[in-house]
């Protein structure tokens, strides 16, 4: 592990940024945590809690500065995952109440089914934020250089 992997990047404050509004509720944070742990798990298991916390805090800030349509769409996608993904494996209850292996199976089945766009919508947003973390960028092969050979 690179020593800088444990150093979390700080948020850049922009003087003319949109004033924050409502971010993620506690329930939405829990549901997002379950989704992120499931999406970004490796053979070793779910990602570290501090990395997931960083993403959720960043998502909270992003949502607090987003318009109502973006917030509503993300909430709708996560709501669908929370209550409909378990039904794809014939389970009742919330997605975040399932154990890790069961969550992975439920999410895979939902993604392949007719409600896959809900998974795609939430997955897209959290993936963009996930790969903003420098350690995740390096793990994905981004060296910080130009892809065009320095042009």
Query: Per the domain annotation, does 59 fall within a domain?
Result: yes
Residue 38's H or E segment, with its range, is: helix 26-39
| Domain assignment of residue 74, yes or no | yes
Kindly report whether the global pTM for this prediction surpasses the value 0.85.
no
Is 6 among the domain residues?
no
- pLDDT for res 151: 45
Q: How many CB atoms lie within 10 A of CB 30?
A: 17
Q: How many domains does the chain have?
A: 1
User: Where in the sequence is the domain holding 107, given as residue range(s)?
Assistant: 23-139
Looking at the domain assignment, is residue 148 inside a domain? Answer: no
Rounded to whole angstroms, the Cα distance separating 106 from 10 reads 34
pLDDT of amino acid 34: 96
For residue 108, being part of any structural domain is answered with: yes
Q: Looking at residue 19, what is its pLDDT?
A: 62
pLDDT, averaged across the chain: 84
Residues of the chain short of pLDDT 50, as ranges, are 1, 150-151
Answer whether residue 32 is part of any domain.
yes
What is the pLDDT, as a whole number, of residue 85? 96
Asked if the structure places residue 105 within a domain, the reply is yes
Q: What pLDDT, on a 0 to 100 scale, did the predictor assign at position 13?
A: 67
């Amino acid at each position: 592990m690179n020593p800088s992997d444990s150093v979390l990047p700080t948020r850049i404050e922009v003087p003319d940024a949109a004033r924050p509004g409502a971010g993620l509720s506690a329930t939405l944070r829990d549901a997002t945590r379950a989704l992120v742990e499931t999406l970004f798990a490796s053979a070793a298991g779910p990602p570290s809690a501090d990395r997931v916390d960083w993403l959720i805090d960043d998502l909270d800030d992003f949502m607090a500065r987003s318009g109502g349509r973006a917030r509503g769409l993300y909430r709708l996608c996560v709501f669908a995952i929370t209550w409909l993904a378990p039904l794809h494996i014939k389970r009742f209850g919330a997605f975040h109440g399932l154990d890790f292996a069961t969550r992975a199976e439920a999410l895979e089945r939902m993604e392949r089914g007719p409600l896959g766009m809900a998974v795609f919508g939430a997955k897209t947003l959290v993936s963009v934020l996930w790969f903003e973390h420098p350690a995740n960028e390096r793990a994905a092969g981004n060296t910080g250089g130009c892809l065009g050979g320095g042009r």
